Amino acid sequence: MSDVDRSGYLLFVPSPQGYRLEERDGPAPERDERVEVDGSAFVVSRVGASPLPLDARPCAYLLSC
Amino acid at 57: R
pTM of the entire structure? 0.87
User: Which whole number is the average pLDDT over 42-54?
Assistant: 97
Kindly give, in sequence order, each residue whose CB lies less than 8 Å from that of residue 3, ignoring residues fewer than 6 positions away: 54, 55, 56
- The Cα 4–Cα 16 span in angstroms is 34
55-65, pLDDT tens digit by residue? Answer: 999 999 999 99
Task: Quote the pLDDT of residue 42.
Answer: 98
The residue with greater pLDDT, 3 or 19, is 19
Q: Does the pLDDT value for residue 54 go beyond 90?
A: yes
